Amino acid sequence: MGILDFLRAKPKNTASIARERLRIIVAQERSTRGGPDYLPLLRSELLEVIRKYVNIDPEAVQVNLESDTGHDVLELSVALPDDEKKS
């Protein structure tokens, strides 16, 4: 058993998976923080509409509310897949 374990491929580096997942979720939650409560819902509804036409990743829609002096800017960014690969 010990020898077999030794020969087997190295286990996946789960810390790096955790790091990447956290990077994404923390960035996403920060972008909606302090903004109105409807942002997450807005984001998911937008995602549904876009998905009617293009099959995109849930992470591909970014909704940011930025406060400039005097006015707020709602910024939407949608990353489309590289044609065949992702869809």
Partner 1 sequence: MTEIIVVTSGKGGVGKTTTSASLATGLAQAGKKVAVIDFDVGLRNLDLIMGCERRVVYDFVNVIQGEATLKQALIKDKRNDKLFVLAASQTRDKDALTQEGVEKVLDELKKEGFDYVVCDSPAGIEKGAHLAMYFADHAMVVVNPEVSSVRDSDRILGLLASKTRHAEGGQATVKQHLLLTRYNPVRVEAGEMLSVKDVEDILGLPVVGVIPESENVLAASNAGEPVILDAQSMAGQAYADAVARVLGEERPLRFLEVPKKGLFKRMFGG
User: Which one of 1, 5, 6, 16 is in contact with partner 1 (CB under 8 A)?
Assistant: 16
Please give the angle made by the CA atoms of 63, 69 and 71, to the nearest 5 degrees.
Answer: 55
Least CB distance to partner 1 at residue 6 (A)? 14
Rounded distance, CA 78 to CA 81, Å?
A: 10
For residue 45, give the 3-state DSSP assignment. Answer: helix
> Out of 1, 7, 9, 15, which residue is the one contacting partner 1 (CB under 8 A)?
15
Between 2 and 34, whose beta carbon lies closer to partner 1?
34
* CA gap 73, 48 in Å, rounded: 22
Chain residues in the site for partner 1 (CB under 8 A): 11, 13-16, 18-19, 21-23, 25-26, 29-30, 33-34
